[in-house]
Chain A
Amino acid sequence: MPSQLNRLGPAAVGTAGVGLCALTVAVTVSGSGSDYAWVEAFARALMVAVPLAVGAYALRRPPFERFGKLLIAAGLAWFLTTLANSDDSLLYSIGRIAGWAEEPLLIYLILVFPSGRLEGGLDRALVWAAVLLVVTLYLPTALVVEGYPVPVPWTSCESACPGNAFMLTGSEPAVVEDLIRPLREVLAIALFAAVALRLAYRIRGATRLTRRTLAPVLAVACFRFGAYCLILLGRRLAPESELVDVSVWLLALTVPLMAAAFLLGLARWWLFMVASTQRLAARLHGHPRPDEVRAALADAFDDPELEIVYWLEEGRGHWADADGHVLEPPAVATTRCLTEVRDDERLVAAIIHDAALRDDRAFIEGATSYALMALDNHRLSAQASLLLREVRKSRARIQAAADDERRRIERDLHDGAQQRLVALRIKLELAAERMNGDGAGAALLRGLGSDVEEALEEVRALARGIYPGPLADRGLVEGLRAAALRNPLPTTVLAAGVQRYSREIESAAYFCCLEAMQNAAKHADGATATVIDLSDNGSLRLEVRDDGAGFDPEHVPSGVGFISMRDRVAAVGGDLAIESAPGRGTRVAANIPLDAEDR
């Protein structure tokens, strides 16, 4: 049936519907003996027409095509129930049996609205319970009863109704009337109450959108339950009164009313969708930032805690936030779920949202398609941030390795070669003394001693250039002060709150300042002094100023190691700025963050 319905359009459904309604009217009018035959016929026709019409409406409106098909099938089934208005026994019996199938059908429709699928074990259990009820307590009785009970919603025949055309046994067993009928009535009402409660529970935990969609259905379900109770009461307390008749008609009317409630729910869903996506499209216009996209989606989904994670394809691929920090795996609490956002097949990002929104898959897909381009851009920038961080770390490692090597060389020189040369010098002096003063031997030894001293001096200068002892032992300030004393240009070192830092930071700051100092001494014409200003207020700031001739930043003189200064400072996550103007001196300023996170 469903595949055939695929090919039928709403127009075909409409044609079929008109035909069926006409049949219904004909059957009702011909079978009814009352004065209100035409009114009745109209009411019965409604039972067929409204579900078919609503089904046809939903058929053309994704994502509810499935529900539309179900509703059309239900409309056709309900047509069969109107046969119960016929005089003919066979038609009447068919109609009556179809009427029994109405209850599970209605329950099924209520529970699958609006997606067309049963969600969860409880819903499935309720539907199966209804089917079981009909199969065990209703259908078998079709073979043994003389006539069907009245009054019922599907026919207005009250007395002298046609008999059961399917009766096989000779007579009706008493158990049917005494036990089975009352039992199944109670069970049917109880089951319907359970369904109504299930629906109410679903609404309670749902998003605003789902509530708006399901509320009309719940209202009609309660109305139907009320009608049931009235019938039950009426049959027990005042069987022949008008109350029972009226209640039965009310029950009959709940079918078209339920279809109308479905329609209302769908219409509300669509209105909400349209308004929401319009707002979303307006907010996502242009180049929204990641936080703006998140806010827009959170607003559209009515979920303030909505999160967006991006899929980075590097290697195995992993999830990350907008800054490229890897989340492995993203934290999804039990009441929330993760919905992937894809561009065709390619995974771009995912949205972590309230699990209740799972039902609104079509809405999610529509909303995220608006955000797709922005999400893809943010994904790329997150990837870039991640790569940039890795490059920085790699740079820092390389620099640290180079500096460690230097310190090792300096230490080796100090502990090894320098000490030997010192010892040699002293021994030569001792030997010269022993030779008692002034002979040629003593003079030779003293000459050797001078040579050794020169060699020692060269080694020391080398060690100092590689990695100065004061820097390693006593830190940045002492190292710079020692270097300042050697500088031909008078240099002052000012320090405020400067402590000891990691090797990488101290050596980066030291060599940067050293380079700047040496530049000032070599290239700054007319400079009288250099000032080195160090301060620590959360990050290490250093400044080297001279009052020399300055230079034009557009034409940097060669031999000035700005690139290496910049590299060194950048390797520890800092930044460097050089200000100079002809006649205004030069200022080199660097800022190194001390917070490990930023590096």
Chain B
Amino acid sequence: MFRGIARDVIAATPGFESVGEAASGEEALRAVDRLDPRLVLLDVRMPGMDGIEVARRLRASHPEMLVVLISVEDSIDFPSAAKLGDDVPLVRKQDFGPRLLRELWRMHAP
């Protein structure tokens, strides 16, 4: 369901364009390899490989790409996510919107 919302938000934000979606961690890795995006939004809770693991792999394989972790939970619930460092921001799903998107890009984009 969130993918639909995210699509709407991206569409509503000028300068951003959605190029692909994935339903699981493995699918996400494959999609990234295929589509080579600049920004990846990852739900922390996914079936199979969880978002944190995917984020770690993507940071290793595509260091110039911005990876953002999204979760309904607080960041406080993901102590291991903190290990990924500031390069992978963790944001709350409910905060997601055009303003946040622009802010993220401004702060973290290479």
Interface residues of A (CB under 8 A from B): 414, 418-423, 425-427, 429-430, 433-434, 452-453, 456, 460, 464, 468-470, 473-474, 478, 481-482, 485-486
A426 contacts B97, C-beta separation under 8 Å: yes
In contact, B94 and A469 (Cβ under 8 angstroms)? no
Q: Are A422 and B2 in touch, CB under 8 angstroms?
A: yes
Q: Is the CB of A434 within 8 A of B77?
A: no
Assuming A423-B5, A427-B5, is B73 touching A460 (CB within 8 A)?
Answer: yes
Q: How distant is the Cα of A460 from the Cα of B71 in the complex, in angstroms?
A: 12
- In whole Å, how far is A396's beta carbon from the nearest beta carbon of chain B? 28
Closest chain-A Cβ to B68's Cβ sits at a distance in Å of 15
| Residue in B closest to A470 when the chains form the complex, CB atoms | B77
Q: How far is the CA of A433 from the CA of B12 in the complex (A)?
A: 9
Q: Most B CB atoms within 10 A — which of A430, A433, A456, A485?
A: A430
**Interface hits, B1-52 → A, CB 8 Å:** 1-2, 4-5, 8-9, 12, 45, 50
Instruction: Let me know if B5 and A426 touch, CB within 8 A.
Output: yes
Q: Which residues between 51 and 82 of chain B lie within 8 Å of chain A, taking CB atoms? A: 72-73, 76-80
B96 within 8 A of A: yes
Q: Establish whether residues A429 and B79, one from each chain, have CB atoms under 8 Å apart when the complex forms.
A: no
Task: Pull 23 A–B residue pairs with CB atoms less than 8 Å apart, ordered by A.
Answer: A414-B72, A419-B1, A419-B72, A420-B1, A421-B94, A422-B5, A422-B72, A427-B5, A429-B99, A430-B97, A452-B94, A464-B73, A468-B77, A469-B73, A470-B77, A473-B50, A474-B50, A478-B79, A478-B80, A481-B79, A482-B77, A482-B79, A485-B77
Secondary structure at chain A's binding surface: helix, strand, loop or mixed? helix
Residues of B within 8 A of A (CB): 1-2, 4-5, 8-9, 12, 45, 50, 72-73, 76-80, 93-94, 96-99
Set of chain B residues within 8 Å of A426, measured between Cβ atoms: 5, 8-9, 93-94, 96-97
Give the 8 A-B CB pairs with smallest separation, nearest first.
Answer: A429-B97, A425-B94, A482-B77, A422-B93, A422-B94, A423-B5, A485-B76, A481-B79
A418 touches B5 (CB 8 A): no
In the bound complex, do residue B2 and residue A469 qualify as a contact, i.e. CB atoms below 8 Å apart?
A: no
In the bound complex, what is the Cα–Cα distance between A473 and B9 (angstroms)? 28
A433:B72 contact, CB within 8 angstroms: no
Question: Could you list 17 further interchain pairs (A-B, Cβ under 8 angstroms) beyond the known A456-B72, A474-B80?
Answer: A419-B72, A422-B5, A423-B5, A426-B5, A429-B98, A430-B98, A433-B97, A460-B73, A464-B73, A468-B77, A469-B73, A473-B50, A481-B79, A482-B78, A482-B79, A485-B77, A485-B79
Q: Which of A423, A434, A456 sits near B2, CB closer than 8 Å?
A: A423
Q: Is the CB of B77 within 8 A of A469?
A: yes
Collect the chain B residues with CB atoms within 8 Å of residue A453's CB. 94
Contact pick for A486, options B2, B4, B8, B76, CB 8 Å: B76
Q: Is the interface of B mostly helix, strand, loop or mixed?
A: helix
- Chain B residues closer than 8 Å to A482, beta-carbon distance: 76-79
A433→B98 contact, CB < 8 A: yes
Report A66 CB to chain B, min CB distance, Å: 80
Verify A433–B93 contact, CB threshold 8 A. Answer: no
Instruction: For the complex, give the distance between the alpha carbons of A469 and B50 in Å.
Output: 12
Chain B minimum-CB-distance residue to A468: B77
Chain B residues lying within 8 Å of A433, measured Cβ to Cβ, are: 12, 97-99
Q: Are A419 and B2 in contact, with the CB atoms below 8 A?
A: yes
Min CB distance, B32 to chain A, in Å? Answer: 22
A481 proximity list for chain B (CB < 8 A): 79
B residues less than 8 Å from A419 (CB atoms): 1-2, 72
Q: Which A residue's beta carbon lies closest to that of B12?
A: A430
A421 to B76 CA separation, bound complex (whole angstroms): 20
CA distance A473 to B78 in the complex (A): 11
Least CB distance from A406 to B in Å reads 17
Interchain nearest-CB distance for B3 vs A (Å): 11
What B residues does A421 contact at CB under 8 A?
A: 94
Residues of B within 8 A of A473 (CB): 45, 50
A204-B5 Cα distance, complex, nearest whole Å: 91
Q: Are A456 and B94 in contact (CB under 8 A)?
A: yes
* Nearest chain B CB to A42 CB, angstrom units: 106
- In Å, the complex CA distance between A430 and B6 comes to 11
Bound-state Cα–Cα, A395 to B100, Å: 50
Asked if residues B9 and A430 are in contact (CB atoms below 8 Å), the reply is yes
Whole-angstrom distance between the Cβ of A492 and the nearest chain B Cβ: 12
Nearest B-chain residue to A469, judged by Cβ: B73
Cα A464 to Cα B76 with chains together (Å): 13
Interface centre among A423, A460, A474 (most CB of B within 10 A): A423
In the bound complex, how far is the Cα of B5 from the Cα of A421, in angstroms? 12
Asked if A430 and B8 make an inter-chain contact with CB atoms under 8 angstroms apart, the answer reads yes
Q: Which residues of A contact B79 (CB under 8 A)?
A: 478, 481-482, 485
**In the complex, chain B residues whose CB is within 8 Å of the CB of A478:** 79-80
User: In the complex, A425→B72 CA distance in Å?
Assistant: 12
The CA-CA distance from A429 to B77 in the complex, in Å, is: 25
Residue of A419, A422, A433, A468 ringed by the most chain B CB atoms within 10 A: A422
A423 to B50, CA, bound (A): 21
Cβ–Cβ < 8 Å partners of A427 in chain B: 5, 8
Determine the chain A residues whose CB is within 8 A of the CB of B99 once the complex forms: 429, 433
Residues of chain B within 8 A (CB-CB) of A456 are 72, 94
**Whole-angstrom distance between the alpha carbons of A434 and B45 in the complex?**
30
Which partner residue on chain B sits nearest A429 by CB separation?
B97
Query: Which B residues touch A422, using CB under 8 A?
Result: 2, 5, 72, 93-94
CA distance A469 to B52 in the complex (A): 14
